[in-house]
Amino acid sequence: MTDIPAHLLDPTRRHDIVLLFDVHDGNPNGDPDAGNHPRIDTETYRGLVTDVALKRKIRNTIPLLRPDDPRYKIFVEADIALNSNIERGFTGTAIKPTQRPTPDERQKVQKWMCDNFADIRLFGGVLSTGDARAGHVRGPLQFTFGRSVSPVHPVDHAITRVTQTKQADIDKGEQTEMGSKWTVHYGLYRAHAFYSASRGKQTGVTSDDLQTLWTVLQHMFDHDRSATRGEMATRGLYVFTHDNAFGKAPAATLFDRITIEPLSEEPPRTFNHYKTNTDLADLPSGITFTPLIG
C-alpha cells in the first residue's frame, strides 16, 4: 500500500479532509430524475456530485485493495439485500433475529456488523430495515457534496447504435437506433470530509482502516472507469490532523486556508488552468497539515 505518515493512521485523532477531483468529457454524477443530466446548482451552474456517489466509489474500491479480508466486506453492495446482511449479524452472534432485540443483543449485533463490514465501520448504517432490527450505527466518516469550482455547462450528445433493440424493428428495415449522452467538458470539484475519533472508537476503526481509506481516496477513480464518466482523477487530497479527538480548531476555518483560483477568464479545460493556494501561516497549535496529493 501507499506509504502514509504515521499521524494519519491514528484513529484516536480527528482528521478534516479536502478532496479535489476532476472530470474530462464525462458525467461525474447523473440525476436519474432528470434524464441522467449532470447534477448542477441551477442558480450558479456549479456542478454537484453527491456524498452518496463518493461513498459508492469508496465502497467499490475497498474490496479491490483488501480482497478476501474478512474485515473488509461491504454492507451496501449490488445484488445483496440489506436485510440479508443484517440477518447475518444476528446469525454471527447466535442471536435470534427479532424486531425487538434487547439493548445488549442490539449492541452485540452492531459490533459484529462493524467488525465485518468496512462501510458500516466507516460510514455507519441503518440496521432496522427488515424483520431483524438492530438499530443504527453512526459512522465516524462523513462526506459533503462535491461542488465544482467554476460553472459547468452540460452538453447532450446525440449518439447512434448500429443495431436495434427489437428483432421486429430490424425486420422492418431499420438499421440504427438513436440515443443521447450527457457530459461536461471539464469540471474541477471540491468536497470535504470529516473523521470523528470518538465515533471511530465506537465502531472500532483501526490504523489499517485509515491506511485503506487514504489509499482508496487517492486511487478510487482509477478503478471506477466507465464510458459515461469520461476521465476522472483525484487532483488534491489535503488533511488537517488534530492532536486529540475533540480538535483544536473548527473545520471551516481550516478549510478556508485552501483556496482555488482560475488562472484566466477562459473556460477551464484542464487542472492546469487552476492554482491551488494553501495558507499555513499561524496554523493553530496541535494541528498537522498533510498534502497526500497536491
At 207-222, the pLDDT tens digits run: 999 999 999 999 999 9
173: pLDDT confidence band, cut at 50, 70 and 90? confident
Averaged pLDDT of the chain: 95
Cα dihedral 102, 103, 105, 108, rounded to 10, equals: 170
> Average pLDDT, stretch 170-190?
90
Q: Is the per-residue pLDDT at 126 higher than 60?
A: yes
In a domain, 174, yes or no: no
Total domains in the fold of the chain = 1
In a domain, 176, yes or no: no
Selected residue with higher pLDDT from 255 and 163: 255
Q: Is the per-residue pLDDT at 1 higher than 60?
A: no
In a domain, 75, yes or no: yes
Q: Is the per-residue pLDDT at 185 higher than 90?
A: yes
Q: Is the per-residue pLDDT at 98 higher than 70?
A: yes
Task: Quote the domain boundaries for residue 241.
Answer: 6-158+181-293
Radius of gyration of the chain (CA): 22
In a domain, 94, yes or no: yes
Cell numbers representing residue 65 in the block: 485493495
In a domain, 173, yes or no: no
* pLDDT score for 254: 98
DSSP state, residue 181: E
Is residue 290 within 8 Å of residue 179, measured between CB atoms?
Answer: no
Cell numbers representing residue 248 in the block: 483544536
2: pLDDT confidence band, cut at 50, 70 and 90? low
Q: Is the per-residue pLDDT at 180 higher than 80?
A: yes
> Average pLDDT, stretch 213-240?
96
Share of the chain above pLDDT 70, in %: 99
Burial of 252 (0-12, 13-18, 19+ CB in 10 A): exposed
DSSP state, residue 101: -
* pLDDT score for 171: 85
> Average pLDDT, stretch 109-121?
98
Note the pTM of the prediction, 2 decimals.
0.94
In a domain, 62, yes or no: yes
Is residue 154 within 8 Å of residue 183, measured between CB atoms?
Answer: yes
In a domain, 46, yes or no: yes
In a domain, 170, yes or no: no
Per DSSP (E only), the strands in 51-133 are 124-126
CA distance 151 to 68: 42
Strands 231-242 and 15-26 come out as antiparallel
Query: Of the candidates 211, 234, 285, which has an alpha carbon nearest to the alpha carbon of residue 7?
Result: 211
